[in-house]
């Protein structure tokens, strides 16, 4: 088999293995919407004496989606909205909006046009002084919340430390998850007291999928990449050669990618019902079905400790030359 054929086979296998993880990532972003819609259906069934339609609007940040534009993301959310709300006889109207930037999302919260919001944790820190939002819940996997990020290089390369990345290319996602990677890398670089002049920094290369970053390092098209540890594990399960040929230079603490928030002035009964429904999903057959569909384990009430590592990261100094993402 030629090198080109082997390379294509590796890429096809890796893309197949990561497809499920990418679907889970999209589903993770949509879960909060599905939870709210489940509440709608249950509330509608429990209150037949109030036939008037009640409107809920769910706002999502486009940065939550990997490789999707606003039209595709909105269509996906609306499909789930119709499917779940129909369980309650369509007595509630559900409107899903994907915001292309944080400014428009903040404006919608200020004007009271959205009640529920799913946004990147870093964006929450940026907007919490601009509009009223309360963290309410997060979705978790079976073992833990959030993600660990790893800095990968090829085993055949001479790179073994951060300092070895000077002048090298590092692949990272271009969305909100990639922003966490960039902030973590900057913090690591500055803590190591490495030079920050442009000629002695690493160069960033944006990709739309984590699998692209991993395969770029595997085929020596990029010097390094930063990806979630779960992505590397998923890809290595199908292609063990990835585990043999790639090495981890750094691992981040567990960092929470996104938050489900509510506006503070939401009706108390709606808020209480929403939280009871979300956190009790794993105790009902309908809830377990939705969690299984989203490849998640449970939804838990927000606790300040969930964002402690992210808060510490936000307080870290920045490298001016690498601050390219404007929100």
Provide the residue ranges of all domains of the chain, joining segments of one domain with +: 14-144+257-313, 145-255
Q: State the pLDDT confidence band at 42, using cuts at 50, 70 and 90.
A: very low
DSSP state of 21: H
DSSP state of 221: S
Q: How far apart are CA 251 and CA 271, in angstroms?
A: 37
Please answer whether residues 32 and 139 qualify as being in contact, where contact means their C-beta atoms are separated by less than 8 angstroms.
yes
Q: Please state which CATH number belongs to domain 14-144+257-313.
A: 3.40.190.10
What does the pLDDT read at residue 22?
A: 45
What does the pLDDT read at residue 86?
A: 52
Please answer whether residues 44 and 87 qualify as being in contact, where contact means their C-beta atoms are separated by less than 8 angstroms.
no
Query: What residues does 225 pair with on adjacent strands?
Result: 152, 171
Q: How far apart are CA 110 and CA 243, in angstroms?
A: 48
pLDDT of residue 9 exceeding 60, the answer is no
Token pair of 105 as six digits: 């999302």
Token pair of 161 as six digits: 């430390």
Q: Which fold has domain 145-255?
A: D-Maltodextrin-Binding Protein; domain 2 (3.40.190)
Contacts with 58 (C-beta within 8 Å, 6 or more apart), sequence order: 32, 33, 36, 77, 81, 94, 95, 96, 97, 114, 115, 116, 117, 118
Q: What is the pTM of this model?
A: 0.77
Average pLDDT (271-284) is: 74
Average pLDDT (204-210) is: 93
Please answer whether residues 315 and 190 qualify as being in contact, where contact means their C-beta atoms are separated by less than 8 angstroms.
no
Q: What is the pLDDT of residues 138-181, one digit of tens each?
A: 988 777 788 999 999 999 999 999 999 999 999 999 988 899 99
What does the pLDDT read at residue 323?
A: 59
SS3 assignment, position 224:
strand
pLDDT of residue 36 exceeding 60, the answer is no
Shortest CA distance to 194 belongs to which of 174, 167, 154? 167
Q: What is the pLDDT of residues 46-60, one digit of tens each?
A: 444 444 556 778 788
Place of tokens 């589903």: 27
How many CB atoms are closer than 10 A to CB 164?
16
Please answer whether residues 148 and 252 qualify as being in contact, where contact means their C-beta atoms are separated by less than 8 angstroms.
yes
Helix axes 268-279, 3-46, angle to 10 degrees: 130
What does the pLDDT read at residue 1?
A: 53
Q: What is the pLDDT of residues 112-139, one digit of tens each?
A: 999 889 899 999 999 999 999 999 999 8
């Amino acid at each position: 088999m030629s090198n080109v054929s082997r390379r294509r086979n590796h890429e096809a296998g890796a893309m197949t293995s990561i497809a499920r993880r990418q679907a889970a990532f999209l589903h993770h972003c949509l879960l909060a919407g599905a939870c709210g819609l489940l509440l709608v259906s249950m509330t509608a069934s429990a209150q037949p004496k109030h036939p008037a339609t009640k409107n809920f609007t769910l706002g999502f940040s486009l940065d939550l989606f990997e490789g999707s534009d606003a039209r595709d993301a909105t269509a996906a959310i609306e499909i789930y909205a119709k499917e779940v709300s129909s369980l309650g006889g369509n007595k509630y109207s559900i409107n899903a909006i994907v915001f292309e930037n944080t400014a428009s999302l903040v404006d919608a919260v200020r004007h009271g046009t959205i009640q529920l919001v799913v946004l990147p944790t870093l964006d929450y820190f940026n907007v919490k002084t601009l509009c009223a939002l309360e963290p309410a819940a997060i979705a978790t996997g079976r073992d833990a919340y959030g993600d660990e990020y790893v800095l990968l290089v090829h085993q055949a390369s001479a790179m073994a430390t951060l300092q070895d990345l000077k002048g090298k290319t590092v692949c990272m996602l271009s969305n909100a998850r990639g922003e966490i990677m960039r902030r973590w890398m900057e913090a690591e670089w500055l803590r190591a007291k490495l030079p920050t002049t442009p000629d002695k920094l690493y160069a960033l290369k944006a990709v739309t999928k984590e699998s692209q970053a991993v395969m770029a390092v595997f085929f020596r098209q990029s010097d390094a990449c930063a990806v979630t540890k779960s992505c590397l594990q998923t890809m290595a399960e199908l292609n063990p050669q990835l585990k043999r040929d790639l090495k981890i230079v750094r691992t981040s603490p567990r960092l929470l990618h996104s938050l489900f928030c509510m506006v503070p002035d939401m009706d108390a009964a709606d808020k209480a019902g929403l939280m009871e429904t979300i956190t009790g999903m794993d105790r009902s057959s309908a809830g377990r079905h939705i969690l299984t569909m989203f490849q998640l384990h449970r939804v838990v009430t927000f606790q300040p400790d969930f964002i402690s590592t992210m808060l510490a990261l936000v307080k870290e100094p920045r490298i001016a030359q690498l601050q390219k993402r404007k929100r």
